[in-house]
């Protein structure tokens, strides 16, 4: 069934966080619902819509930034009490706006996630999970990595409390009381959890999750073990999931799945073939969709999807058909509501403009005085710097509540910028070859009008570590800029996993010395991404990583006074050795580093690289042939005369070109890594083979696996 | 929302910018485009049965609607239109790097085939000025040539650099067309027949031009800029990270005014209001746009806008009808308006809040502490000062113009961004000192490659050393046109031998004013006397520039750089509002080079002739050799066959090497031709107004008559007669 949705913007509040908007339930069916939303200024706004105009119900005073907003109430009654979490405090409001609860948790960190079920309150700060019942402390759990979201399976159905935590280390943790019941690995860092169909399905055990790399899935959390029901990969390379809801927008009796992403895409999936959902409809907002819920707000009898976006817009995608009468005259009849709305907006604008001009003058006058000071207005930047597994690149997303004017990118290590289609800004890269200030990258992005979100792609080189800085200038007077810093770690292309292949030939680096557990952990944090900053509980810890580009692995096991780093890639070990010794010298700690090199590992790594290299070479070769073959095709009129191999190339030309465009630097990167491998292999033997690199490149130029292996064996 | 009324998938690649629509039989429009392998295809879906293959035209084996035209050379430009008004139907014009072909598609016959040594980078068809017959005007290597339907060369002139784009537009609004020429040297020149009527400097190579309506035209640059000019005044321009491949004027919303339709390299097509640049319509193709034309392709009496992509996808759009006017781009226009207004409101509120918060802060404390510095609090009276000065350079750095940005107190400048067009590789330059070296002063070296006035838009991040938030100071400085010349002592180096002399009836003080405005001087120059003299040294190559003026108003400009002399004269005369100026000029070194180039052209030409005859000989020889070799094979005389094929192989090698010689000879030939064309242009630039045209015309005649001495005489004194 074709779904036609029209966007209606209702109201704008301050910048919103994830999951901070809800629709208040009504007792009767199809009656109009009210919207309640909390923003980062700390204001809770509740409003309804009358004749297309938002009518406020209540609005609280500004305060600390609101991190979550949930609805609650006694079990089996209407869930119409509003709970907001801000700082370390949870407040409760009735639907009329009367505050009935103010609960200070005394947590040292501010609350990140909240879930409410009857009298049970589940709160999560960065690593800590707390369960309160009637505001009394019940259970406590310390998670290994940051907690992004929390929920509890419906108590009505299961008659026991089963909290589920979504943790940054790609794991869902299911608790029982204060103890871990079991863990379940998911394909990406989970960023949001929701009960399937709003109630956990028939069993009450079905939990939906969305990850920050854009995947979604459904898991059945039973009392003994979890079972994955379905998952959807992020093939279109869309943004991370911020919110989800189940709602029957089509009106066919089956609830559709609503997904809001951080690149502004809202997706509607339905369950036509029972199990795995199918994408039915999508709508693109220009900024992150922070909350989504289905309901009836704008007009009675018409269902709609209400969303809130990063800059605080509450909009609806309504099923109400847009009445547009194309009159006989030239003017399209604008509906009265519309006209009034525009008129009042224009009036507001005029008033504001006058006021702003006055203030501007005052500000200017201020600058004459020698004692006055001038502050920088703060603005919030919503940023994300993540490693993509499929092309081993980092993507940097910057989002500001107002339009961005210019972004300056600066980096003190060599990195490459890749073009992103979505990004329409005019890029200008400054030549840094003879740059006297040690910059390796200086680039300006001049954004087109109304750009609030900028996406960039960055290719890093392992072993070259430093800081990437983004200076963001929004289009607001007085002009200011804010710096955001991102660490490019020494092993920047590694990603956390939970299992590794134990049969590979491994090189081991052993670290011994007078260092504490916290110290060695801080070194690991310094070297590798996706490691929690907090020193883990216990005496020792193991982390597993995978190189996203080469698929080699790394195992780190360490405790007070000793650490073992095992990898099948000799370059990884070499980088670790360099960085660790440098760090230790900096802190004047006496370290003994010893390396146990497994000769077989080099050939093993080369064999791992082989299929990638061969594929890239073939691709390059094929792409080179496309034009010539096409020319022959025009000449001869068809492709029958070609050998099947060439005919295939002509037929698959589009796909090949697309593939080739997607990874323009892959071949160079592979060459670079093979060269590093070559140098590192002999570095551990104590020979410097830099002079032989040109020879190696020559061999790579006419690549053949055996020749390369032989060269690696014979050189030195 | 406008949807395409038809979509075609042609199974041929289309080369960018090479699309035309012609009614080759007088009624049926046919889409024509250049494709790979030196071919042109003609798509004719209207008359399916009645076509035959003959001569150049071959029916495509793949698709019966398409016929292919073999050019056997890379096509560099293409157009279609009425060349011979008596024929009553359109002709096809195809230009390559060496020739121009006018082709009668209907009769499968060549109208003419002309060799053009300067190449044809762009072609336009139409009437120009008072020339009665339509002309096919091609732009090549610094030259412009117009042919009538007989192939007669009725129009010939030179321009400053490689021509990239051409358009015919009634620039003056007098009912006659002027020729707009966009070239590699960033200039758009307007030719009223063969005289230059106007020159507009842009910031990059001009890749496309299109007439919009009387006096108005659209342009596109290679850096992704498109815009609209009304005469000399630019209405608007926008810049994108993609390139505009094709621009076209079409009234898409039926409001009686043409919109500028742009086809982008990322496959986007947009229509923009000619006055404001506001987008009223956009669509996306899967691949880059190749060309945009208009025509009644469905033969139903309505003209469609037809867009083609490089992959051969064609979409036709019918203009929106009258009723749709106003709210045509999107059915939710009001919603968008509301959103836009709300956004504006939000911005103003934010600004207001900023001031309020600032006021609050001011009340709270008046002392800037270290802690405040981190949050970016700075004294309110902080000012940013900029100075421009010449830096003579050191061992490690060549001489340059130095922009020094400094704050008025202890605040530091974290980084400085300078946006300026034409002087950096991209559009901006950034200075970001490392954290140890941040100070309240930043120096930015500038080396403008051309002598044009440049606006420097500066953004400086001001705060304290550990700030994470900075104030952004924005200001604009203008770099004077001749900033790359520094004042030097009169006797520091020998005076240049070359000079330009002319007399004006202006006071010395006015000329001094011009000097003050155009050069970067540490202090304003002043003079009370009736004569004055200044010496400058170029920062680029240490060349000398000497400007003298005596009491009788005679000015002499001494420099060995003829381009610089031209720039100075153009700048000075426009400052002093002089309309016509004749000069006396002598550039012995440059003239000597030119003389050599002229001789070389002759040489290259004869070498080329000789090589051509050689080649003809060789190919005859090959033919006979091949016959003999095959004879031997048929007779079973393997020994002789082998020998002959060996000989054939050697001959082939010889031919190949000869071809390489021909190639190098040809490039040299082209370079020299360009040098000569440029020399004429430069000689013209030394004069202003009428004398300028006279010089160009006279030079042309001299070259036509092969009178080298006359040419130099004209360049020196400006006229042919003594």
Mean pLDDT of B508-519: 87
The whole-angstrom distance between B719's CA and the closest CA on chain A is 48
Peptide bond into B410 cis (omega under 30): no
Residue pair A226/A174 in contact (Cβ under 8 Å)? The answer is yes
Closest alpha carbon within chain B to A449: B238
Spatial CA neighbour of A508 closest among A562, A565, A579: A565
What pLDDT score does A85 carry? Answer: 92
Spatial CA neighbour of B680 closest among B650, B701, B665, B660: B701
Cα of B361 vs its chain's centroid, Å: 53
Query: A275-279 long-range contacts, Cβ below 8 Å, gap at least 24?
Result: A275/A229, A275/A230, A276/A230, A276/A232, A277/A230, A277/A232
Candidate from A29-38, A391-400, A454-463 with smallest mean pLDDT: A29-38
Does the beta-carbon distance from A437 to B12 stay under 8 Å?
no
More confident residue, A699 or B309: B309
Mean pLDDT of A539-560: 89
d(CA B510, CA B578): 12
Closest alpha carbon within chain B to A630: B36
Tokens of A28: 């009767």
**Residue B541, helix vs strand vs coil:** coil
The whole-angstrom distance between B272's CA and the closest CA on chain A is 15
pLDDT confidence of B325, banded at 50, 70, 90? very low
Spatial CA neighbour of B78 closest among B97, B93, B100, B99: B93
d(CA A410, CA B312): 41
Burial (Cβ within 10 Å: 0-12, 13-18, ≥19) of residue A273:
exposed
What pLDDT score does A260 carry? Answer: 92
Q: Which of residues 420-449 of B touch A (CB under 8 A)?
A: 424-434, 437
Summarised one tens digit per residue, pLDDT across range A72-94 is 888 888 888 999 999 889 999 99
Percent of chain A with pLDDT over 90: 17
Closest alpha carbon within chain B to A423: B241
d(CA B542, CA B400): 12
What does each C-alpha distance from A110 to A14, A65, A123, A193, A287 come to in angstroms? 19, 10, 10, 20, 25
Candidate from B24-28, B440-444, B573-577 with smallest mean pLDDT: B24-28
Phi, psi torsion values for A617, nearest 5 degrees = -65, -45
Phi, psi torsion values for A539, nearest 5 degrees = -95, -30
The whole-angstrom distance between A251's CA and the closest CA on chain B is 25
Does the beta-carbon distance from B372 to A630 stay under 8 Å?
no
Residue pair A83/A90 in contact (Cβ under 8 Å)? The answer is yes
d(CA A449, CA A457): 21
Chain length of chain A: 716
pLDDT confidence of B480, banded at 50, 70, 90? confident
Mean pLDDT of B447-451: 84
Residue pair A405/A480 in contact (Cβ under 8 Å)? The answer is no
Mean pLDDT of B331-347: 73
Residue pair A241/A216 in contact (Cβ under 8 Å)? The answer is yes
The whole-angstrom distance between B86's CA and the closest CA on chain A is 35
**Residue from A328, A342, A363, A374 to probe the interface with B (highest B Cβ count within 10 Å):** A374
Does the beta-carbon distance from A481 to B472 stay under 8 Å?
yes
Model confidence at B322: pLDDT above 60:
no
Q: Which residues in chain B have Cβ-Cβ distances shorter than 8 Å to A421?
A: 266
Task: Write out the H or E segment, with its range, that includes residue A660.
Answer: helix A653-662
Model confidence at A100: pLDDT above 80:
yes
Give the CA count within 13 Å in the CB-facing half-sphere of B157. Answer: 23
Region of residue A76 (phi > 0: left; psi between -120 and 50: alpha; otherwise: beta): left
Model confidence at A375: pLDDT above 80:
no
What pLDDT score does B178 carry? Answer: 87
Complex ipTM, two decimals? 0.80
Q: Which residues in chain B have Cβ-Cβ distances shorter than 8 Å to A368?
A: 381
B459 touches chain A (CB under 8 A): yes
Query: Helices (H) and strands (E) in chain A — how many of each?
Result: 10, 44
d(CA B286, CA B309): 8
Q: Tell me what percent of chain B is helix, strand and coil, each rounded to the nearest 5.
A: 25, 35, 35
Tokens of A474: 């929004």
Candidate from A363-367, A453-457, A495-499, B658-662 with smallest mean pLDDT: A363-367
Candidate from A197-206, A369-378, B603-612, B694-703 with smallest mean pLDDT: A369-378
What pLDDT score does A190 carry? Answer: 92
Closest alpha carbon within chain B to A421: B266
Q: Which residues in chain B have Cβ-Cβ distances shorter than 8 Å to A53?
A: none
Does the beta-carbon distance from A426 to B427 stay under 8 Å?
yes
What pLDDT score does B326 carry? Answer: 43
Q: Which of residues 367-386 of B touch A (CB under 8 A)?
A: 367-368, 372, 375-382
What pLDDT score does B722 carry? Answer: 52
pLDDT confidence of A200, banded at 50, 70, 90? confident
Task: Write out the H or E segment, with its range, that includes residue A179.
Answer: strand A179-185
Tokens of B207: 């890749």
Closest alpha carbon within chain A to B349: A352
The whole-angstrom distance between B470's CA and the closest CA on chain A is 5
Nearest to A372 among B241, B353, B362 (CB): B362
Does the beta-carbon distance from A370 to B378 stay under 8 Å?
no
A to B CB pairs, distance under 8 Å: 239
Looking up tokens 């609209």 gives B228
- CA torsion angle B318 B319 B321 B324 (round to 10): 110
Mean pLDDT of B474-485: 88
Does the beta-carbon distance from A482 to B366 stay under 8 Å?
no
Tokens of B307: 């867009």
d(CA A290, CA A399): 13
Q: Which of A215-219, A432-436, A681-685 has the highest mean pLDDT?
A: A215-219
Mean pLDDT of A677-692: 83
Summarised one tens digit per residue, pLDDT across range A297-346 is 888 888 889 999 998 889 888 887 765 444 433 344 456 667 777 788 88
Mean pLDDT of B366-381: 64
Task: Write out the H or E segment, with its range, that includes residue B190.
Answer: strand B187-192
Mean pLDDT of B181-192: 86
The whole-angstrom distance between B133's CA and the closest CA on chain A is 37
Residue pair A441/A414 in contact (Cβ under 8 Å)? The answer is yes
Mean pLDDT of B219-248: 88
Residue pair B488/B537 in contact (Cβ under 8 Å)? The answer is yes
Nearest to A331 among B326, B351, B378 (CB): B326
**Residue from B376, B384, B414, B436 to probe the interface with A (highest A Cβ count within 10 Å):** B376
Identify each DSSP E strand in A262-403 by its residue range.
Answer: 265-270, 278-284, 289-295, 304-309, 313-318, 373-374, 381-388, 393-400
Residue pair A604/A570 in contact (Cβ under 8 Å)? The answer is no
Spatial CA neighbour of B483 closest among B413, B391, B390: B390
Spatial neighbors of B136 by CB under 8 A, at least 6 apart, are B79, B83, B93, B100, B102, B123, B124, B125, B146, B147, B148
Does the beta-carbon distance from A429 to B12 stay under 8 Å?
no
Closest alpha carbon within chain A to B372: A375
Summarised one tens digit per residue, pLDDT across range B268-321 is 888 888 888 888 888 888 888 988 998 888 888 888 888 999 888 888 888 876
Closest alpha carbon within chain A to B339: A9
pLDDT confidence of A715, banded at 50, 70, 90? low
End-to-end CA gap in chain B: 68
More confident residue, B330 or A537: A537
Mean pLDDT of B238-265: 87
What pLDDT score does B370 carry? Answer: 53
Mean pLDDT of B674-688: 84
pLDDT confidence of B367, banded at 50, 70, 90? low
What does each C-alpha distance from B178 to A27, A529, B154, B656 come to in angstroms? 75, 64, 15, 45
What pLDDT score does B371 carry? Answer: 58
Model confidence at B50: pLDDT above 80:
no
Cα of B607 vs its chain's centroid, Å: 33
The whole-angstrom distance between A163's CA and the closest CA on chain B is 39
Mean pLDDT of B367-390: 72
Model confidence at B411: pLDDT above 90:
no
Model confidence at A150: pLDDT above 90:
yes
Mean pLDDT of B537-563: 86
**Residue from A286, A428, A433, A439 to probe the interface with B (highest B Cβ count within 10 Å):** A428
Angle at B564 between CA B562 and CA B569, to 5 degrees: 95
Cα of B419 vs its chain's centroid, Å: 21
d(CA A361, CA A363): 5
What pLDDT score does A210 carry? Answer: 93
Model confidence at B108: pLDDT above 50:
yes
Mean pLDDT of A665-675: 83
What does each C-alpha distance from A429 to A398, A424, B618 come to in angstroms? 18, 15, 53
The pairing of beta strand A163-167 with beta strand A265-270: unpaired
């Amino acid at each position: 069934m074709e779904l036609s949705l029209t966007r209606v913007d209702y109201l704008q509040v301050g910048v919103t966080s994830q999951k901070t908007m809800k629709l208040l339930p009504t007792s009767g069916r199809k009656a109009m619902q009210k919207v309640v939303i909390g923003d980062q200024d700390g204001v809770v706004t509740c409003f309804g819509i009358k004749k297309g105009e938002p009518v406020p119900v209540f609005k609280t005073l500004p305060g600390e930034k609101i991190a979550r907003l949930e609805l609650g109430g006694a079990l089996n009654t209407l869930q119409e009490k509003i709970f907001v979490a801000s700082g370390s405090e949870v407040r409760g409001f009735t639907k009329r706006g009367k505050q009935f609860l103010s609960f200070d948790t005394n947590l040292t960190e501010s609350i990140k996630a909240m879930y409410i079920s009857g009298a049970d309150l589940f709160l999560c700060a960065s690593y800590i999970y707390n369960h309160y019942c009637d505001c009394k402390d019940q259970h406590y759990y310390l998670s290994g990595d940051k907690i992004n979201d929390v929920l509890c399976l419906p108590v009505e159905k299961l008659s026991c409390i089963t909290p589920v935590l979504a943790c940054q280390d790609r794991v869902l943790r299911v608790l029982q009381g204060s103890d871990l019941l079991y863990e379940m690995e998911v394909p990406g860092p989970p960023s949001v959890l929701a009960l399937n169909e709003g109630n956990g399905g028939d069993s009450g055990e079905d939990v939906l999750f969305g990850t920050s790399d854009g995947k979604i899935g459904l898991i059945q959390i039973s009392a003994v073990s979890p079972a994955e029901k379905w998952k959807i990969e992020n093939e279109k390379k869309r943004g991370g999931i911020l919110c989800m809801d189940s709602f029957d927008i089509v009106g066919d009796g089956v609830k559709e799945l609503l997904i809001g992403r951080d690149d502004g895409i809202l997706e509607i999936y339905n369950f036509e073939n029972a199990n795995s959902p199918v994408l039915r409809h999508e709508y693109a907002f220009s900024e992150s969709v922070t909350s989504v819920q289905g309901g009836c707000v704008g007009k009675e009898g018409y269902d709609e999807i209400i969303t809130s976006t990063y800059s605080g817009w509450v909009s609806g995608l309504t099923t109400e058909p847009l009445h547009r009468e194309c009159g006989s005259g030239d003017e399209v009849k604008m509906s009265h509501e519309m006209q009034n709305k525009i008129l009042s907006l224009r009036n507001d604008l005029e008033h504001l403009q006058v006021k702003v001009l006055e203030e501007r003058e005052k500000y200017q006058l201020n600058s004459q005085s020698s004692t006055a000071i001038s502050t920088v207005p703060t603005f919030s930047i919503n940023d994300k710097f993540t490693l993509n597994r499929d092309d081993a690149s980092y993507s940097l997303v910057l989002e500001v509540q107002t339009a961005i004017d210019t972004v300056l990118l600066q980096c003190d290590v060599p990195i490459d910028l890749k073009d992103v289609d979505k990004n329409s800004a005019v890029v200008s890269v400054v030549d840094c070859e003879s740059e006297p200030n040690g910059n390796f990258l200086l680039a300006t992005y001049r954004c087109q009008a109304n750009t609030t979100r900028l996406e960039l792609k960055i290719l890093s080189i392992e072993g070259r570590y430093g800081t990437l800085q983004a200076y963001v200038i929004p289009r607001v007077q007085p002009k200011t800029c804010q710096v955001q810093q991102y660490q490019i770690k020494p092993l920047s292309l590694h990603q956390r996993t939970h299992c590794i292949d134990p049969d590979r030939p491994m090189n081991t680096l052993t670290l011994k010395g007078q260092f504490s557990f916290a110290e060695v952990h801080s070194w690991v944090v310094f070297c590798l991404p996706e490691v929690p900053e907090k020193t883990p509980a216990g005496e020792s810890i193991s982390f597993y990583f995978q190189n996203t580009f080469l698929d080699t692995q790394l195992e780190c096991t360490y405790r007070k006074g000793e650490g073992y780093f095992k990898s099948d890639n000799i370059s990884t070990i070499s980088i670790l050795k360099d960085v660790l010794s440098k760090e230790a010298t900096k802190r004047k700690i006496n370290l003994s580093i010893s390396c146990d090199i497994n000769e077989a590992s080099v050939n093993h790594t080369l064999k791992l690289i082989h299929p990638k290299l061969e594929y890239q070479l073939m691709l390059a070769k094929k792409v080179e042939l496309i034009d010539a073959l096409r020319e022959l095709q025009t000449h001869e009129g068809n492709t029958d005369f070609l050998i099947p191999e060439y005919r295939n190339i002509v037929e698959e030309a589009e796909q090949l070109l697309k593939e080739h465009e997607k990874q323009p630097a892959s071949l160079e990167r592979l060459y670079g890594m093979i060269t590093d491998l070559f140098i590192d292999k002999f570095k551990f033997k104590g020979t410097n083979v830099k002079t032989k690199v040109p020879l190696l490149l020559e061999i790579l130029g006419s690549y053949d696996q055996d020749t390369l292996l032989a060269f690696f064996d014979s050189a030195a | 929302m406008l949807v395409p009324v038809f979509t075609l998938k042609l199974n041929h690649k289309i080369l960018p910018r090479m699309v035309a629509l012609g009614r080759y039989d007088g009624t049926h429009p046919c889409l024509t485009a250049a494709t790979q392998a030196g071919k042109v295809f003609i798509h004719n879906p209207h008359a399916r049965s009645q076509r035959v293959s003959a001569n150049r035209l071959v029916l495509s084996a793949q698709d019966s609607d398409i016929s292919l035209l073999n050019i056997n050379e890379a096509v560099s430009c293409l157009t279609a239109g009425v060349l011979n008004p008596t024929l009553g139907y359109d002709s096809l014009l195809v230009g390559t790097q060496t020739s121009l072909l006018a082709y009668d598609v209907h009769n499968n016959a060549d109208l003419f085939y002309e060799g053009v040594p300067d190449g044809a980078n762009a072609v336009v068809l139409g009437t120009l000025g008072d020339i009665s017959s339509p002309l096919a005007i091609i732009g090549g290597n610094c030259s412009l040539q117009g042919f009538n339907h007989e192939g007669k060369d009725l129009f010939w002139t030179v321009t400053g650099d490689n021509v990239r784009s051409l358009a015919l537009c009634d620039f003056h609004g007098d009912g006659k067309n002027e020729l707009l020429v966009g070239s590699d040297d960033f200039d758009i020149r307007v030719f009223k027949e063969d005289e230059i009527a106007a020159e507009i400097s842009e910031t990059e190579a001009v890749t496309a031009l299109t007439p919009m309506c009387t006096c108005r035209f659209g342009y596109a640059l290679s850096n992704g800029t498109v815009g609209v000019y009304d005469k000399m005044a630019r209405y608007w321009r926008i810049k994108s990270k993609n390139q505009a491949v094709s621009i076209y004027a079409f009234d898409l919303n039926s409001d009686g005014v043409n919109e500028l339709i742009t086809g982008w390299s990322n496959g986007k097509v947009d229509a923009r209001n000619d006055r404001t640049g506001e987008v009223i319509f956009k669509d996306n193709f899967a691949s880059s746009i190749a060309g945009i034309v208009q025509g009644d392709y469905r033969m139903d009496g309505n003209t469609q806008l037809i867009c083609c992509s490089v992959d051969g996808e064609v979409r036709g759009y019918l203009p929106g009808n009258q009723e749709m006017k106003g709210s045509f781009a999107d059915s939710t226009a009001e919603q968008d308006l509301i959103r836009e207004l709300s956004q504006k409101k939000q911005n103003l509120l934010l600004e207001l809040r900023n001031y309020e918060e600032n006021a609050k802060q001011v009340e709270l404390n008046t002392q800037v502490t270290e802690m405040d510095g981190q949050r970016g609090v700075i004294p309110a009276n902080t000012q940013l000062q900029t100075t421009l000065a010449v830096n003579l350079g050191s061992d490690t750095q060549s001489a340059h113009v130095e922009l020094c940005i400094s704050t008025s107190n202890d605040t530091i400048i974290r980084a400085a961004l300078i946006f300026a067009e034409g002087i950096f590789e991209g559009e901006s330059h950034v200075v970001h000192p490392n954290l140890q070296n941040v100070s309240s002063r930043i120096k930015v070296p500038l080396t403008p490659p051309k002598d044009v006035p440049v606006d420097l838009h500066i953004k400086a991040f001001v705060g304290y050393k550990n700030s994470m938030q900075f104030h952004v100071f924005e200001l604009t400085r203008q770099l004077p046109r001749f900033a790359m010349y520094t004042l030097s002592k009169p006797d520091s180096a020998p005076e240049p031998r070359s000079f330009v002399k002319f007399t004006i009836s202006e006071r010395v003080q006015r000329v001094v004013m011009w000097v003050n405005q155009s050069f970067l001087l540490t202090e304003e120059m002043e003079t009370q006397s009736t004569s004055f003299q200044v010496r400058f040294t170029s920062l680029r190559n240490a060349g000398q520039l000497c400007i003298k003026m005596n009491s009788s108003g005679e000015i002499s400009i001494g420099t060995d750089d003829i381009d610089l002399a031209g720039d100075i004269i153009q700048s000075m005369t426009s400052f002093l509002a002089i309309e016509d100026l004749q000069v006396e000029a002598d550039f012995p070194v440059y003239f000597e080079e030119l003389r050599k180039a002229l001789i070389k052209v002759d040489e290259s030409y004869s070498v080329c002739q000789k090589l051509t005859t050689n080649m003809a000989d060789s190919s005859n020889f090959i033919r006979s050799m091949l016959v003999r070799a095959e004879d031997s094979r048929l007779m079973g005389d393997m020994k002789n066959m082998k020998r002959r094929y060996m000989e054939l192989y050697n001959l082939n090698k010889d031919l190949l090497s000869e071809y390489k010689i021909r190639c190098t000879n040809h490039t040299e030939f082209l370079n020299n031709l360009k040098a000569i064309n440029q020399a004429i242009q430069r000689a013209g630039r030394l004069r202003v107004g009428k004398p300028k045209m006279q010089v160009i015309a006279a030079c042309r005649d001299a070259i036509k008559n092969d009178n080298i001495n006359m040419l130099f005489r004209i360049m020196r004194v400006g006229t042919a007669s003594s």
